[in-house]
Homo-oligomer: A and B are copies of this chain.
Amino acid sequence: MSGIRIGSLGLGRLGIRHAENIAGKIRNAELAALCDVDAAKLEETAGRLNVKHRFTSFEDMLRCGDVDAVVLASPSALHTGQTAAALAAGKHVFSEKPLGVTVAECREAEKAVEAHPDLVFMLGFMRRFDESYRYAHDKVAAGVIGRPVLFRSYSQDPEKFIDGAIAFAPHSGGQFLDMAVHDIDLARWFTGSEPESVYAIGGCYAHSEFARYQDGDNVSCLMKFKNDAMVFLFAGRTAPHGYNVETEIVGTRGTLRIASVPQKNLVEVLDAHGVRRECSENFLERFGTAYVNEVQEFVDCIVTGRKPAVTVYDGTRVSKIAYTCKSAFEQGKLLFF
C-alpha cells in the first residue's frame, strides 16, 4: 500500500511507538525513513520495521525525496527549530508537545507555520484523541451536562519512575510545563474558554530533589476562567498505584468523569487485597490507541487537505498558561493572565 511517506525522528520510548504505529497501524501512510543519533538503535528498529531510509542527521532526512512528512519525537528543546526546518524543506510536520520550551520559541513556530499555509502542522496533544476523552467532549459540546462549573484534572506519574523524573528534572521545565500542559489543553478544550487568574501551590512531599529547580514533586493550581468556569489541576510524581490521568467536568446538569479509576483493562481481581482494578502503568499503555489516532488524523489531514483542529496557536496558549502557573507557584502569588 502506498500513501503518505513519513520520516520519523527520535527513537525514545514514544518515538519507537510512533514508528511502530506508522509502520503497521496507520491507514494511507508508510514509514519511509527513520532518524536517530543512536546508530545502533536506528539499525535495529529500521531493520525490524523494514524501513528503507535511515538517517543519523535530521537535515539529511529532510533532503530525502521519499519523505512527505515528518514526525518529531525529539527532545523538547529541538522542536521549534526542527519544525521550522522541516516546513522550509516542504515537509508536513507532526510535533510532539511542547511546541517550544519558551513562549518566544512558540512565536517562532507560529511564524514558520504561517509561512507555509499549504503544509499541515499538528501538535501531539494525544488526549484529545483518546476515545473516552472524545466521547466526553462530544457530550459536553452537545450540552448534555449544561454549563461547565468545575473542571478538575490530575496527571500523576507512578512513584516507580521517580528516578527518571529526578534525572530529567533539570530539563523538564517543571510539573506545570512537563505534565500539566495536557490538563491545561483539556481545560481549554472542554470549557471553550481561557484562564483569567491562577493560584498555584505544592511542594516536595517525598523527594526534596525537585526543590533545586523551584519545583515540587506534587503541585496544584486553581484557575478562574473567563467564562467563570473553575479549573483545578493537580500534577504529581509519586502515585503508588500507577499512571493516573483523570478528569472531571462538573456541569449544571451533569458531571462526567474520565478514568477516575485508572484501570489497566476490564479485569477485576478479588483476592486478599480486596476487590480491585489494576492500574495503567504508563502513558504508552493508557494512551496507546490515542497515539495511533492522532497520527492517523495527521495523515488524514494531509490526504484530504483538512487542517488539524489543534493549531499552532493552541501550542503557544498552553505554553503561556503553563509558564504563568509556574510563576504563580514560584512566587506564591495570585497571577492574572
- CA separation between A182 and B1, bound complex, in Å? 34
Give the residues in chain B near A265, CB-CB below 8 Å. Answer: 131-132, 135
Q: How far is the CB of A93 from chain B (nearest CB, A)?
A: 23
Q: Interface segment, A54-62, A65-73, A102-110, A268-276?
A: A268-276
- CA separation between A218 and B50, bound complex, in Å? 51
* A27-B24, A266-B263, A267-B135 known; A275 vs B220 contact (CB < 8 Å): no
Give the residues in chain B near A257, CB-CB below 8 Å. Answer: 267-268, 270
Give the residues in chain B near A166, CB-CB below 8 Å. Answer: none
Give the residues in chain B near A314, CB-CB below 8 Å. Answer: none
A90 within 8 A of B: no
User: Could you give, for residues 190-205 of chain A, a 1 whenever the CB lies within 8 Å of some chain B CB and a 0 otherwise?
Assistant: 0000000101011101
* A24-B27, A220-B230 known; A146 vs B206 contact (CB < 8 Å): yes
Q: How far is the CB of A272 from chain B (nearest CB, A)?
A: 5
- Indicate if the CB atoms of B218 and A201 lie closer than 8 Å: no
Residues of chain A at interface, number, CB under 8 A: 73
Q: Could you list 28 A-B pairs, sorted by A, with CB under 8 Å? A: A1-B1, A1-B50, A23-B27, A24-B27, A131-B265, A135-B267, A147-B206, A149-B236, A203-B228, A218-B230, A218-B250, A222-B232, A234-B250, A241-B254, A241-B275, A254-B269, A255-B269, A256-B267, A256-B269, A257-B267, A258-B267, A258-B268, A259-B266, A264-B274, A273-B276, A275-B277, A275-B279, A276-B276
The 8 closest A-B pairs by CB, nearest first: A276-B276, A199-B199, A222-B222, A24-B27, A132-B266, A254-B271, A255-B270, A334-B334
